[in-house]
Amino acid sequence: MNSKIAFTLAEVLITLGIIGVVAMMTIPTLVQKYRENVLMAQFKKSYATVANGFRLSEIDNGDMKDWPIGSQMNIEEYWTIYIKPYFNSPQICINESDCGYSYVDRVKWSGLFWSLETNESRLLFKLVDGTVIFLPNYTTDENDRPSYVNYFYIDVNGAKKPNKLCYDVFKFQKGTDKGITPIECAAEVIGNNWKIPANYPY
């Protein structure tokens, strides 16, 4: 004679409740991890594309630190000579909305004091895969003279959120003997095999 094990309604409800609690605890973590993996894959691709573009430009035009700044060259000519030929169909953005942004929280961009609009001191452009590069050309010193800026930003997924420094926006040094160099959190992620470290302080 076969004996059957039956569960009471209370036992079933308790079991389902436990499953629900476990799911609530684990699913957000899994979703967050998936999003991080997607962003890191985009970061790796964007980095390779941008590094290659600037490397090719430096072959033709010399080290980035020696490129013209300020009144030495207008931004349209700068774009035509140093940027446009070395990327696949790049699009210059006159302002942030041209690159798809409806709003940029500059606090999330680490207090970025630059307006995200093209003028003689900066260049904003988008690649065909949606990557956006914010390239300051110069700032001014206390005597209002042009001063070289040795860093720039890559937003690896463009206008898509979170638009936050160290998550989808990364900072690089330009004009070095290695082309471009990841700095701050970009260096940490790349040094950790393109993964956000467990002790990520950002």
Would 42 be classed as within a structural domain? yes
Number of domains composing the chain: 1
Would 150 be classed as within a structural domain? yes
What is the structure's pLDDT at 27? 59
Separation of alpha carbons 184 and 200, rounded Å:
11
What is the structure's pLDDT at 85? 93
Exposure of 30 by Cβ count < 10 A (0-12 exposed, 13-18 middle, 19+ buried)? exposed
Would 196 be classed as within a structural domain? no
The rounded Cα 119 to chain-centroid distance in angstroms is: 21
Would 93 be classed as within a structural domain? yes
Would 2 be classed as within a structural domain? no
Would 18 be classed as within a structural domain? yes
| Residue carrying the six token digits 């500059």 | 106
Q: Tell me which residues of the chain have a pLDDT lower than 70.
A: 1-7, 9, 11-12, 16-17, 20-31, 70, 103-121, 137-149, 175-178, 201-202
Tokens for 153? 């930003």
What is the structure's pLDDT at 23? 58
What is the structure's pLDDT at 65? 79
What is the structure's pLDDT at 197? 84
Greatest pairwise CA separation for the chain in angstroms:
98
| Residue carrying the six token digits 């998550």 | 167
pTM beyond cutoff 0.85? no
Closest to 133 measured CA to CA, from 73, 184, 202, 84: 84
What is the structure's pLDDT at 116? 63
Would 1 be classed as within a structural domain? no
Q: Which residues contact 53 (CB under 8 A, 6 or more apart)?
A: 83, 86, 87
What is the structure's pLDDT at 45? 92
Would 197 be classed as within a structural domain? no
Residue 159's domain comprises: 9-191
Separation of alpha carbons 138 and 68, rounded Å:
9
